Amino acid sequence: MVATSATANVEFKQGYGRYVRNSLYVSLVAHFVTVYFSPPFEFKPYVLKEQEFVVVQTADDFELPPPPAEVDQPVIPMAAEEGEEVDDDTEIAPTSFDRIENLPPPPAPPSESAQEFYAFDEPPLLVKSVSPQYPQLAQNAGIEGTVVIRVVIGVDGKVEQANVISSDVTPAMEKAALAAAQKFLFKPAKQRTVPVRASMAVPIRFKLHGR
């Protein structure tokens, strides 16, 4: 095996010049054929496209509209200062309470469950969850369902607030879900590289074993 490899190596070295010469001939022939059969290059000078301009004639004199008519400024009633005498000839308009009675009622104050907006680039990530305590009465009655809870997560990853968004279970089960959600632990949301407060919806499922 070694003798065969040495013989092949010697034969290759002896024919090295021939290999190089044949490769040079082949490359020259390929270059000549490529140049010969390539289409001739035609140089075309760039011609600037002419643009058509439209001339619009305008009137030399412009007629300005008349200024709006001046409106007298309404008289603003002034409260009389203490001790100031009021002229008997002064006319005082009668007081009307119609406008006060027809005023719409004030808007209701925002509820405690109103959602706030928190801006973040990286959302919070749940790292620890706690199973809710299934109420015994609900287990005996075979009640199952889901409680969706909105949690507000602080910069330390702990739940600061929790409230029920939707539920199809009993109030006792909702209370148990809230207690469990308040023990959740998250990787806090980030605005760029800074941890920030954020809110998210967390579903908590109540399901009996064996169903």
Q: What is the CATH number of domain 125-206?
A: 3.30.2420.10
Residues 6+ apart with CB under 8 A from 187: 124, 125, 126, 127, 157
Annotated domain spans of the chain: 2-37, 125-206
pLDDT tens by residue, the chain, 211 residues = 556 666 766 676 676 677 778 788 788 888 777 777 777 767 677 666 665 655 556 656 656 677 777 777 766 666 666 666 656 665 655 555 454 455 556 555 544 444 566 778 899 999 999 999 999 998 999 999 999 999 999 999 999 999 999 999 999 999 999 999 999 999 999 988 899 999 999 999 999 876 6
pTM higher than the cut 0.85: no
Backbone angle region of 45, left / alpha / beta, with phi > 0 → left and psi within -120 to 50 → alpha:
beta
CA distance linking residue 186 with residue 148, whole number of Å: 17
Element (H, E) at 37: helix 16-37
